[in-house]
Every structure is written in C-alpha cells, then in structure tokens.
Structure 1
Amino acid sequence: MKSMKLRGVFIAVTGALALSFSAGAMADSTFDLVDALVKKGVLTEEEALPLLKGRENDIAAADKKVKKAARVTISDAIDNATVYGDVRVREEYRKGGGFGTAGAGAGIFGEEERSRGRYKLTFGVETKADDFYTDLAFAMGPGGRSDNATFGNGGNGTNGANNKETLYVKRAMVGWKMTDWLAVEAGRIKNPLYTTSMVWDGDLTFEGAAEKVSYDYNKINFFGNFVQSQYVGDYKNFSNVGNPSLSTSGDRYTNNILAFQGGLKFPITDMVSAKAAITYTTYSNNKNNGNNSNQNIFVPSLTGASTGIVAANSGTNNLQTIEIPAEIEFKTAGDLSYKVFGDYVYNTAGSDRFNAAINSVGANTTTGKKLAAAGNDDTAWLLGAGITSAKDKKPSKGDWQAKFWWQDVGTYAVDQNAVDSDLMDSRVNMKGVVAKATYNLRSNVFVDVTGASATRKNSALATSGTASDIGLDLNKYQLLQLDLTYKF
C-alpha cells in the first residue's frame, strides 16, 4: 500500500515537472538526472523522492502556469464543459408537379424544379455542475424547421455583395438532474419526445419546460417525456375598456403545446429488442396572435383553388393527437443489425377540425360543400425497415446504414407547421416513399444520400403546408439530397 502511494506521488511530481519542461517553464538538471537513474533502475521511486524534496513550490508554480496556458479557464463551479457541433454541405434537387395557386396561373397545371447548394453550421457548448447542466447552441437559418443557408443567398438576401449569414440561438436550456431517474429542463430545449419526422421535424425545438423520466427494472427501461411548450406566447388581456388607450382588440392569446409520453424498451431475446411509446399531444386553444375574434382555423384549400396553399393554413385548432411510435431491432453475431420501425397518429379531434374548416367558409356554400364531400382524414402512419453495419457502439470509419419507409399523412391528422420540411416539402395530404443511406468516411465524417417520391393523398384537397419550397399545389413531388457532414 505504501509503495503504491509513493508511486502515485512520484508520478504526480515528475509529471508536473515534465509538463513544465515541455512548456519551457523551467529546466532542471537535477530532475533530468534523477529521472534517468530511475528509468535505468539505479534508483527506485522510493529512493528518488527524497532527492526532489524542496522543489514542491517550484513544481506547483510551474504546473499552474502550464495548466493556465493549456486550457480555457471556466468557472470553478462548473465540473466540465464540452464544445460540440457540425458543419454540413448539401447539394439538393426538388421537383414538383401541380396546380398554380395565385394570379393568372391559378388552377393551371405546371412543374417546378429547384436545385441549390446549401450549408449548415451548428455550434454548441454543454456544461455540467453537480446535478445541474446546460445546453447552449447556435445555428443558421431563421426558420424553426431548417438550419440551412443557401449558396449565393447570404444574409437571407442576394449574395452579390457576398453578405455573411447570421447565427441564431437554437437552444438555451438549463437542466436539473433531480434524481437518478428524473431530469427537468427549461428554456429553448431539444425535442425530448421519441417520435419520427412524419410528426416533428428534427430541427424543431420546444420553448418552455420538459420532464424526462428513465427507470430501469429487470432489464426493462421505462421512460416518460412530458412537455409544456409555448407555441405562441406573451399573453395580454386588456380589461379596462373604458380607457381609450386600452382596447380588447389588443388582447393576445397564448397557444401552448402539452405532450405526455410513456414508453418502454425491453429485450425479447439476447439478440432482439423492442421499443414503443404512446404520446398524447394537445394544443391549448384555437386562437392565434390576434384579437378575440381571430380564430386561427385550419382551412385546407380545394385542388386548384386560387386562394393558395399557404394562406389560412397555419391553424392549430382541434389538434389532440395520439401517437404510437415503435421499433424492433435484430442483432447478429457480426457487425450487422436490422430494424423494423413505424409510427401511427390519430387526431382524436379530427372531426372537429374537419367541421371547423367547413363552418369557417359556410357549410352551405359551394366551397363548404366541396370540403364536406372531400371527407375527414384524421390519421397518419409510417412503416419502414433498415440495416446497419457498425463495429462498435461509437461511430467508426467504414460504418454504414440504409433505411427506407413509406408514410401516409391525412389532411387533418397532424400539425402541418411541424412536419419535416424536406421529405414531403413541409406538406400534409401527402403519401410516398423515403430512402436514406449513410457511410462513415471517418468516425466524425460521413456522407448521406436521401431520396423521396410522393403524391397527393386526397385528390379533392390541396397539399396544405407552411413555408413550402415548391410554390405549387402538388400532385407529385421528388427530392434528392447529397450531404457531407463533419462533426466536432
């Protein structure tokens, strides 16, 4: 025990001196001689330690100087800080065929092709202090569903002057690990829900609070995620209508997302495991950032309608969804593993969403009757399979994976503001197939190829959405993306 203790002291002392020498902080012939004698076996470590006595202050000062020069200083209250991020370069091609939505082209079939180079930067810092932690991240792109910037489009405008892009706050979160099984996070947080891109775009964050539960029992992991997020915030209520400067027309109503998820991950055999969850998500009210009479009602356009596919389609009224994501993974004795996955969504308030759309234009009008005849489609589903080749749990050179899936999204099933912005061009009322392949050039550098092909689901209704990239009411859609990503 004494020998081990002496060994530790000697290593600490000589290590500090070695660092000092390498930094040019101090040259010590005594240390060189003692170190050489120990290495040659002339002296033992126990015999060498007394020869270094009296140098403790020099060693400590040199060690402090080296450490100060070698690392970024952080608060003493923080245990550690981790810098992370990625740079991605993308070449993208989109093509859509459908009806014009405005002006002289309204209702006339045409095609639009879009090809562009894009790039993305994400830069973040995570810190930990005892049972508290933070995540601060910046990214490009002002839109919530895209962190991309487009070549030749610097500063979100023309790039003739080679304008620079802006970094935006993507996440700003404080977390508290209250127990081994419960963590609470608040701020702008990463989406904690186990879900798919059919429902939530991967770039979206929540603003508010979340509680995350993870508990292991008898090889089964029970997890829960609970979200309270403000979709539209800053509530205002003017009650003194006798004052001319205070009018109820200036009232502002908040719109909150509440999500409750419970699930489990468990082994079926030594080589087969499964994961599944059930999530209930609701939106707090039907009003948007306007006055008391401004009902933010979702009204899908009819096919070829001249009213356009974006106007009046941001409504989140009557969305109370039950989502069931699930997967089964099959491992092999080698590097390969296989996965079958799926997702199912049912909007329990879909009939109310359907009726609200009809009533907003008048049930007895021509438009109202056509919307009623189109029917209520309040479900969405996804089913796919994948194969992965990985040498270890951590990514390494030569790893690869491929997956494909089919998805089918009804007009009244999900929030059209939250679905993936790429695969179906930010639309609902779409069905189609997606394929994606990834190859690791290095442990932190990989290439992705993604393709999608989709068509309109309900021929009577427009492919509604917000912030779509193709300006047509789509009948058909194709996407091809080639990505190169460097992580750090």
Structure 2
Amino acid sequence: MPQQKRNRWMGVAAALGAGALLSLSPAVVRAQNATLDDLLEKLKDKGVLSDDEYQSLKKAREEEQLEERDAHRRQAVKEAEQADAQAKAKEAEAKATKYDVNPGIKSLQLFGDVRLRYEARNATSTVPIAGISPATDAEGLDRWRYAVRVGIRGDLVDDWYYGLRLETGNNPRSTWATFGGNTTIQSANGGAGPSAKGGSAAIQLGQAYLGWRTTPWLSVQAGKMPNPLYTTPMVWDPDIAPEGIAERVNYKWGDHVELYANFMQMIYEEQAPDQTGNNVDLGFHKQDAWLYAWQLGGAYKFNQGTNVKAGLTYYQYQNRTNLNGFTGDGPPATTAAYFLSQNGINNLQILELPAEFNFPLFGFNARIFGDIAKNLDGGARAKAAGHNGVNEDSAYQIGVGYGNLGLVYGTVAKKGTWEVRTYWQRVEQFALDPNLTDSDFFEGRTNLQGVYLAGAYSFTDAIIGTLRWGYAQRINKQLGTGGSNPDLPGVNPVDDYRLLQVDLTWKF
C-alpha cells in the first residue's frame, strides 16, 4: 500500500477513534455531532479524505444523527408515559378505600336494597270485624312504608361460602316498616313521639349461613338462609329465610339438560323444654317441629333464550302436628286460641309442582309460569276442622311475564328496561300451610282466588319503580279464610280483598 494512502486511512481511523471516545462520554453527547463534523471537514481539507470518502462518511453520519434523535425522542416519550402512569397510580392509591380482609375470605360482595312504598289494602267480610267499634264489615289500610336490607356474601377458602344480611321488620314475611308506625302519643299509656325508632323499624338478623361446595355438583349449607327450593309466592313468601340445613345437587348433562335436587330440613318451631321428668338425657330430642322438603327437577335448553324448567317437591311435617288444630273459620276473636286455629300445621303432606317456559318474543324475554299444589292429607285436615267430606285441598297458579324478567321482584336492574307480569291464583282452604304463603297477595290467606298485575321500570342501573295491584274473592262461602297476618288480622272470613302498592327501590 502506498505511503500516502496508508497515511490517509490512518488519519480516518484516528478521526473515527476520536469520535468513538467522544460517544462514550455522556457529558459531551450534545457536542458530539459538531465535533465529528469539524474533524471530517479538516480531514478533507488536509487531503486525508477524498471528496467521495468525505461525502460517504458525512451521509452515514447524517443518518446516524437521525437515528439518534429518534431514539432520544422515543426515550423521552417512554419516560413521560412512565411518569404519568406512576402519578395516576399514586392518585388512585390515595383515593382508594383502605380496609383489611381476613385471608380466610376470598371474596366479599355488598348487596341489598332500600325501598319506599305507598300501599293501600282493604278487605270486606260477612261478619263484624273483631276489635272495631262501632261494628263494621270492612277494614282498610292506607300507609307509606320503607324497608332496608343490607348484607355481605362471598367465598371463603377451601370451597366454603357465607352470607349475612341485616334488615328492618320483625315479621318473617315482611321487612317493611310504616311511617309513623312507632308513634304512640295517642295510646292510653302514652309513649313515643313522632318518627320514633324501634318496633318494625328495628334492625333484625335476616340471613346468617355457611355453605360448603363438597363437589362441583353438591353443596351443603346451614343457618338462616335464602330459600333453597325452586318455588313460587303461592307456597312460599319471598321474605321467608328458612332456618335449618339444606343440600343442593346440580348436574349438567351435555349442552341442553340440567338436573337438580334440593333437600331441606327446616326447624319449624323450637320446643322448650324438650324433656321433663326424672330421666332427661343429653342428645337430640324429638319434640321440635320440623319441615322436610324433597325436590327433584330439571331444565332443558332448546337454544339461547328458550328453555323449560320444572320441579316436583314433597313437604312433610314432623312433631307437634297434633297441636293447634287448624280450622280457618271465623268469626274472628282476639284470643290466642283463635289465632292458633288459623295457623295449625296438622295434617299437611303437600306435593308442589312449579314450572316455567322461557322464550324470546319480539326482541324481549317472555315467560309462561305456573304452580300446582295438593295436600295429600287434605281430607283429614278438613275433618279435623269440622268439615268432613269437604275436598278443598288444592292450589293453582298460572301467569305470564314479559320484558326484563325479574325486574318486578327487584332481582335485576338495568337502565331503561321494563317488565310486566300477571297471574291468576287459587288456594283452597286445606291445601297449603297458611304460615308460609305470600302475605301480600293475598293477605297470607287460604280459600281465596284472584288476579295479580304488576309492572316495573328501571330508571337507572340501580333505581326501580314498581306498580302492583291485586284482587281476590272467597272461594267457598261456607268456610272461613284460614291464616292470620298482622296487616288485617281481624277480618275472617275475607269476602273481597284489594291491594295496591307503588314502590321506588334502590338496589345495590
């Protein structure tokens, strides 16, 4: 290699080496571009670099400068995004509610509702109403009411789950309190002034239960629990939370068939003391009243939104069924014996068959539903009441719902949705347990038949407005209307019954 060319490339190497040293120093990064450009210019002027070499190196340098600027820009954007994310995270952490949950709790859901209601109900009878002077054969209630239910539920570790709920109301079939209902300034004994606390507005324990999912298809729960049975208000008031033990089986067979079985052992009434005498032992005694329920059922899914469901339930009562013999007859009295005769659980062996068919209709959900029940011991129950040969031992319900199904009962809420629902119901005198039936429709009584109409609209995802109306008449004019309810307890028999309810509900 000629000496001149060798010297030229040695100069280029020296220049590039200087540039490399400069690039290693962060303190001179901003001066690096100008320095290298000056070096290349001087090397060209001294003849170390030819013009072609100079242009080639300059072009490469310019491309390198562009890449460096892009890299700096990307780095700056990344750092800005990271700083913004950190600032937002700190802000969210500062706003977040801080609480500590026991590690044994896997999940916790707050649920409940606050409800306001205007209600008017009235009933007429063929006999004077007990406790009212001067004598009259009609009684009505016109009142403003409120109810609160607040609870938590969720999963525990190792497939356990739980539920707790507090609520207003001391009636097992109602969580409602009445505006002014605890005011007693006009009573003979004086008492509480306007807007007094306590009474039906006092907070009660509505639910308290534990459950265990023993397998994917079997769960067992115990305590004061939501009703584990598939049923309707014809047989069970929705507010009742059975106390006892329940086992639930659910098995899916393919994509279309679902089989289920529900079993319940409900402590109906505690007997205290259980034993007396000289030989009282320790253990499980047999004096308490129990209600056993066995339910088998299934559902079939035809396609998305179209399905059918049904279940057959057998109810058996054990112990104390020979006490408080049911008659259901009036005229009413204010004695304990009369009220016991309205609520007796003797001679009850009930079969129930609720069912429903769900399908889409004109872009909304539709449901045809019904319930059939028969007391297999109804003849003996009628005979014990002094009505031998009377076969008033059956109950029926048939109805339709349309729209956002469940909105009328407040089980769902979505802004702008609505539901309309209606049913016809007939409950004969000796067909059902009058302590369990819906206390609103129709007054928790037997020997009544009538119609129920309801509509609901969801103003927001949490606020629901609901209108309900019902009308019922006595079936057998030779019999009373069994059952007692704190709303109109002195009316028996009920000849005509009307109920209007207008609700505003906040559901959460």
Q: TM-score band (shorter)?
A: 0.7 to 0.9
Q: CA deviation at 1:79?
A: 1.2
CA contact under 8 A between 2:131 and 2:334: conserved in structure 1?
A: no
Please tell me the residue identity of whatever aligns with 2:292: L
Q: Deviations over 1:269-317 (max 9, x none)?
A: 5553101000011111234xxxxxx722112215x46688634211111
Answering whether residue 375 of structure 2 is matched by residue 347 of structure 1, we say yes
Match of 2:74 among 29, 41, 51: 41
- State how far apart, in whole Å, the 2-side matches of 1:273 and 1:69 are: 43
Q: Deviations over 1:431-464 (max 9, x none)?
A: 0000111100011110110000000011011112
Q: CA deviation at 1:133?
A: 1.0
Q: CA deviation at 1:395?
A: 3.5
CA contact under 8 A between 1:192 and 1:212: conserved in structure 2?
A: yes
- State how far apart, in whole Å, the 1-side matches of 2:286 and 2:181 are: 35
For 1:70-149, what aligned pairs fall within 5 Å after superposition?
Answer: 70-98=97-125, 99-102=127-130, 110-130=137-157, 131-149=159-177
Sequence identity percentage? 32
Match of 2:327 among 279, 299, 302: 299
Answering whether residue 262 of structure 2 is matched by residue 225 of structure 1, we say yes
Report the count of equivalent residues.
Answer: 412
Aligned counterpart, 1:324: 353
Q: CA deviation at 1:90?
A: 0.3
Residues 388 and 156 of structure 1, relative CA distance in 2, 3 Å threshold = farther
- State how far apart, in whole Å, the 1-side matches of 2:333 and 2:277 are: 42
Q: Deviations over 1:66-108 (max 9, x none)?
A: 48963321102211211111100000001111122547979x7
- Structure 1, unaligned runs of 5 or more: 1-36, 53-58, 288-293, 359-370
CA contact under 8 A between 2:324 and 2:340: conserved in structure 1?
A: no
Residues 460 and 257 of structure 1, relative CA distance in 2, 3 Å threshold = same
Answering whether residue 498 of structure 2 is matched by residue 478 of structure 1, we say yes
For 1:17-416, what aligned pairs fall within 5 Å after superposition?
Answer: 41-42=74-75, 66=93, 70-98=97-125, 99-102=127-130, 110-130=137-157, 131-154=159-182, 160-164=193-197, 165-218=201-254, 219-234=256-271, 236-240=273-277, 253-287=287-321, 295-302=323-330, 304=331, 310-332=339-361, 334=363, 336-358=364-386, 371-372=387-388, 375-389=390-404, 395-416=413-434
Residues 68 and 215 of structure 1, relative CA distance in 2, 3 Å threshold = farther
Q: CA deviation at 1:426?
A: 1.5
- State how far apart, in whole Å, the 2-side matches of 1:395 and 1:295 are: 44
Aligned counterpart, 2:60: none
Q: Deviations over 1:87-143 (max 9, x none)?
A: 00000001111122547979x762112100000000101131231111000111111
TM-score, normalisation: structure 2: 0.74
- Rg larger in 1 or in 2? 2
Please tell me the residue identity of whatever aligns with 1:325: P
Please tell me the residue identity of whatever aligns with 2:109: T
Secondary structure of residue in 2 paired with 1:342 = strand
TM-score, normalisation: structure 1: 0.77
Please tell me the residue identity of whatever aligns with 1:441: F
Q: Deviations over 1:203-251 (max 9, x none)?
A: 0011111011111112211111110110112554435359xxx9xxxx9
CA contact under 8 A between 2:373 and 2:394: conserved in structure 1?
A: yes
Q: Deviations over 1:349-385 (max 9, x none)?
A: 1112122222xxxxxxxxxxxx337x13110000111
Q: Deviations over 1:321-347 (max 9, x none)?
A: 10000011111472x121111000011
Please tell me the residue identity of whatever aligns with 2:141: R
Please tell me the residue identity of whatever aligns with 1:160: G
- State how far apart, in whole Å, the 1-side matches of 2:77 and 2:136 are: 89
Please tell me the residue identity of whatever aligns with 1:261: Q
Secondary structure of residue in 2 paired with 1:298 = coil
- State how far apart, in whole Å, the 2-side matches of 1:82 and 1:40 are: 46
- State how far apart, in whole Å, the 2-side matches of 1:161 and 1:101 are: 28
- State how far apart, in whole Å, the 2-side matches of 1:382 and 1:255 are: 28
- State how far apart, in whole Å, the 2-side matches of 1:82 and 1:39 are: 48
CA contact under 8 A between 2:326 and 2:340: conserved in structure 1?
A: no
- State how far apart, in whole Å, the 2-side matches of 1:103 and 1:478 are: 21
- State how far apart, in whole Å, the 2-side matches of 1:38 and 1:380 are: 81
Secondary structure of residue in 2 paired with 1:41 = helix
Q: CA RMSD in A?
A: 3.3
Secondary structure of residue in 1 paired with 2:343 = coil
CA contact under 8 A between 1:184 and 1:212: conserved in structure 2?
A: yes
- Structure 2, unaligned runs of 5 or more: 1-69, 186-190
Please tell me the residue identity of whatever aligns with 2:142: S
Please tell me the residue identity of whatever aligns with 1:186: A
CA contact under 8 A between 1:222 and 1:264: conserved in structure 2?
A: yes
Secondary structure of residue in 2 paired with 1:253 = coil
Secondary structure of residue in 1 paired with 2:231 = coil
- State how far apart, in whole Å, the 1-side matches of 2:502 and 2:412 are: 23
Residues 237 and 141 of structure 1, relative CA distance in 2, 3 Å threshold = closer
Aligned counterpart, 1:30: none
Q: Deviations over 1:451-488 (max 9, x none)?
A: 00000011011112122422312100100000000012
Please tell me the residue identity of whatever aligns with 2:416: G
Residues 117 and 241 of structure 1, relative CA distance in 2, 3 Å threshold = same
Please tell me the residue identity of whatever aligns with 1:97: T
